[in-house]
Every structure is written in structure tokens, then in C-alpha cells.
């Protein structure tokens, strides 16, 4: 029996709203607070990697039936964050920043896949033969 299935507020729509709001907030913070980025140091430090991991997890929970869309969403999110950082500060960073962002998003997707098995009921899961 799934552990979190009986919580009434958890639904696909709820996770979609949270995931898209979170990704939009990451991009907005990148544009808005350049002085915060300078205080934390490197553009892709531990905080941003953790934020992208959470974004990947939320995206996977929002779209449990389409892992390919989730991966494309994270690729687009990392590129949008890189572009917003470039437009806001004029510094494009290095290609290692994008690689770290992609790996962080992938870890989040894997964590979200594990959590989605706990949240979704057994009847909603598709069986592949």
C-alpha cells in the first residue's frame, strides 16, 4: 500500500503547479538578485546544484508517466538558467556549469521516480510486458 497516497492534497495538478512555479522562481531569482550570486560565490555552487536537483524531483513527480518529457524539461531549465545568468551578468560561465546542472537535474529525476512509486497508487502504474 502506498504511503502517501491517501493524502488528499497530493495530485498530478498540484505537482505540476509546484514544479513550474519552482522552475520559474529559479529563473526569476537568477535575474533579480545578482548581489546574492556574488555573495555565494561561483555561479554553479552547491546551492544551485541542490536547487536543480529539487527541480528535477518536482518535474518527475509532476509528470510520472512521461520520463522523456521530464528529461527535456530539465535540459530546457538548465539552458534557461544558463541564458538568464548570461543575460543578467554578462558572464556565461563554463561548460562544466551546464554539465553539473544536467547531472543535478538527473539526480532529481531519479529521486522523483523513486518517490512517485510511493505516492502513486498501484492501479495507476502501467505494466509493460
Q: Indicate if the pLDDT at residue 42 is higher than 60.
A: no
- Percent of the chain at pLDDT above 90? 12
Q: Which three cell numbers stand for residue 111?
A: 529521486
Q: What total of structural domains would you count in the chain?
A: 1
Q: Is residue 91 part of a domain?
A: yes
Domain extent, residue 99, equals 12-119
Contact 64, 8 (CB under 8 A): no
For residue 72, name the pLDDT band (cuts at 50, 70, 90).
very high
Higher pLDDT, 120 or 56: 56
* Predicted confidence (pLDDT) per residue in 10-25, tens digit: 677 888 899 999 988 8
CA dist., res. 122 & res. 2, Å (int): 8
Q: Is residue 28 part of a domain?
A: yes
Nearest alpha carbon to residue 85 among 36, 12, 17, 13: 36
Amino acid at each position: 500500500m502506498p504511503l502517501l497516497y491517501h493524502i488528499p492534497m497530493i495530485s498530478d495538478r498540484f505537482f505540476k503547479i509546484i514544479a513550474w512555479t519552482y522552475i520559474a522562481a529559479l529563473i526569476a531569482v537568477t535575474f533579480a538578485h545578482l548581489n546574492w550570486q556574488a555573495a555565494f560565490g561561483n555561479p554553479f555552487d552547491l546551492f544551485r546544484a541542490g536547487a536543480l536537483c529539487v527541480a528535477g524531483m518536482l518535474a518527475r513527480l509532476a509528470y510520472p508517466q512521461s520520463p522523456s518529457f521530464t528529461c527535456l524539461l530539465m535540459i530546457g531549465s538548465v539552458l534557461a538558467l544558463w541564458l538568464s545568468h548570461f543575460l543578467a551578468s554578462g558572464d556565461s560561465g563554463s561548460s562544466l556549469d551546464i554539465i553539473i546542472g544536467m547531472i543535478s537535474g538527473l539526480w532529481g529525476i531519479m529521486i522523483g521516480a523513486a518517490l512517485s512509486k510511493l505516492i502513486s497508487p498501484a492501479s495507476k502504474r502501467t505494466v509493460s510486458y
